[in-house]
Amino acid sequence: MPNAEEDTRKVQTAVSGHAGSDLPVYLPMDADEFGAFISRYPQRAFFCGTLLGGCGQRLSPKQYRDRKCHFAHVSAAVNCRRTEGDEASADHLYIGRAIADWLKRQKQRAVQPVYKPKGHQVRDVIDVSYEAGRRLVRVQLARRSKREWEESDAELRARHAGLDWLFGPDSLLANWQLDRQGYALRVQCRSLGATREVEIGTQFPDRPVEWTSLSECSLTPEGIVTPGLLHTPSGIVPRHAAPATPALPASALPLTPASILITDAALSHATDTHRFFDISVRVNARLSLPAHAETPDVHHAYLPMGATLSPDSDGTWLIEARALHRIQADTTTQRKTDSGRPPATLTIRRPGNSRFRPTPTSSRPSARRWKTQRGARTS
76, 91 Cβ separation under 8 angstroms: no
pLDDT for the residue 306: 84
Q: Give phi and psi for 341, each to the nearest 5.
A: -100, 150
Largest Cα span, the chain: 113
pLDDT for the residue 358: 39
User: Which of 137, 119, 140 shows the shortest CA–CA distance to 127?
Assistant: 137
User: Which of 178, 163, 113, 166 shows the shortest CA–CA distance to 141?
Assistant: 166
CA distance 28 to 67: 12
Q: Rg of the chain's alpha carbons, rounded to an integer?
A: 35
CA distance 220 to 106: 9
Cβ-Cβ contacts under 8 Å for 363 (sequence gap 6 or more):
none
CA distance 5 to 7: 6
Quote the pTM value.
0.64
> One digit per residue, pLDDT tens: the chain, 379 residues?
344 455 566 899 999 999 999 999 999 888 888 888 888 888 889 999 999 999 999 999 998 888 889 999 988 767 898 999 999 999 999 999 999 999 999 999 999 999 988 888 888 999 999 999 999 999 999 999 999 999 999 999 999 999 999 999 888 999 999 999 999 999 999 998 888 999 999 999 989 999 999 999 999 999 999 999 999 888 999 998 877 766 656 566 666 666 778 888 888 888 888 888 888 878 778 889 888 888 888 888 888 888 888 877 776 778 888 888 888 765 444 444 444 443 334 344 444 444 444 344 443 433 333 443 333 444 3
Detail the DSSP E strand segments found in 250-291: 260-270, 275-288
229, 236 Cβ separation under 8 angstroms: yes
201, 209 Cβ separation under 8 angstroms: yes
User: Which of 127, 115, 187, 182 shows the shortest CA–CA distance to 152?
Assistant: 127
- Tell me the three state secondary structure of residue 310: strand
177, 209 Cβ separation under 8 angstroms: no
270, 283 Cβ separation under 8 angstroms: no
CA dihedral for 103, 105, 108, 112, sign (positive or negative): positive
pLDDT for the residue 277: 85
What single-letter DSSP state applies at residue 214? Answer: G
148, 119 Cβ separation under 8 angstroms: no
